[in-house]
Amino acid sequence: MAAAVGIARRVAAEVRRDVAAARDRDPSARGVSAVEIVATWPGVHALLSHRLAHALYENDVPVLPRGLATLTRALTGIEIHPAAEIGEGLFIDHGAGVVIGETAKIGDNVTLYQGVTLGGTGFVTGKRHPTVQDNVTIGSGAKLLGPITVGHGAKVGANTVVITDVPPNTTVVGNPGHPVRVEGRAPEGPDTDWIHLPDPVAEAIEGLAGRIAALEQRVLGAPNGNGAKATEPAKPLRADKGRDPAGG
């Protein structure tokens, strides 16, 4: 009896924390009753189900943990492996398409948006999924792959692909994910501007286009390039005398 009361108290506390996390981090949950959040927020459903599946998994109960995870995926679009370790205050916004792998570890007060994958990179066994420390935000569609660590307070931009560790309090974006803010400031130094890197192929094409435009202008005797039309028709490239240089 005492054990049942203890479990009920623990579950009630967990639900309260889930509701608080939704209210804190989902603007559309402000002013919504706790009952409505519990009844209609898929991220909350997925967490409730995962806690039960994880407890069953830890106690070596067969079949049921995976069965629960599969049912939850069908209902919410969120797939959490029963073995995944999840801290307090996780908030999964919208939910659909979220995958959290078997050896993933998530700290406290983490926020995940839809389409986030905490996955492995191949067929290796053992620890192969990310560790996400406290207070991390991971944007929609972001893929975090391999046994990397995302440091506390880090932000991962929407659609970022992360395959290396992310230092604490750092914002990473792009593919591959690279830092654009460290402790709130743009990183400094010659190699830190990943967004405006020179593109040697584009520069070569631009150079060739310039030379072609200059040649056209000389051949046609009229301004060309930049889309301007030649004022007279092109003269044939034929020598005045002798054989046709085009050969045969």
Question: Contact residues for ligand COA (CB under 6 A)?
Answer: 94, 113, 137, 139-140, 155, 157-159, 171, 173-174, 180-181, 186, 195
- Rounded Cα–Cα distance for residues 130 and 103 (Å): 8
Beta carbon nearer to ligand COA, 41 or 57:
41
Q: How far is the CB of 195 from ligand COA (least distance, A)?
A: 5
Beta carbon nearer to ligand COA, 133 or 137:
137
Q: How far is the CB of 22 from ligand COA (least distance, A)?
A: 14
Beta carbon nearer to ligand COA, 37 or 83:
37
Tokens 């579950």 -> residue = 11
Which single residue brings its beta carbon nearest to ligand COA? Answer: 139
Q: How far is the CB of 96 from ligand COA (least distance, A)?
A: 11
Beta carbon nearer to ligand COA, 19 or 136:
136
Q: How far is the CB of 143 from ligand COA (least distance, A)?
A: 12
Tell me, letter by letter, the H, E, C secondary structure of the chain: CHHHHHHHHHHHHHHHHHHHHHHHHCHHHCCCCHHHHHHHCHHHHHHHHHHHHHHHHHCCCCCHHHHHHHHHHHHHCEEECCCCEECCCCEECCCCCEEECCCCEECCCCEECCCCEEECCCCCCCCCCCEECCCCEECCCCEEECCCEECCCCEECCCCEECCCECCCEEEECCCCEEEEECCECCCCCCCCCCCCCCHHHHHHHHHHHHHHHHHHHHHCCCCCCCCCCCCCCCCCCCCCCCCCCCC
Q: How far is the CB of 171 from ligand COA (least distance, A)?
A: 3
Q: How far is the CB of 147 from ligand COA (least distance, A)?
A: 23
Tokens of 74: 């069908």
Beta carbon nearer to ligand COA, 78 or 173:
173
Beta carbon nearer to ligand COA, 41 or 113:
113
Beta carbon nearer to ligand COA, 147 or 153:
153
Q: How far is the CB of 37 from ligand COA (least distance, A)?
A: 17
Helices 42-58 & 2-25, crossing angle to 10 degrees? 140
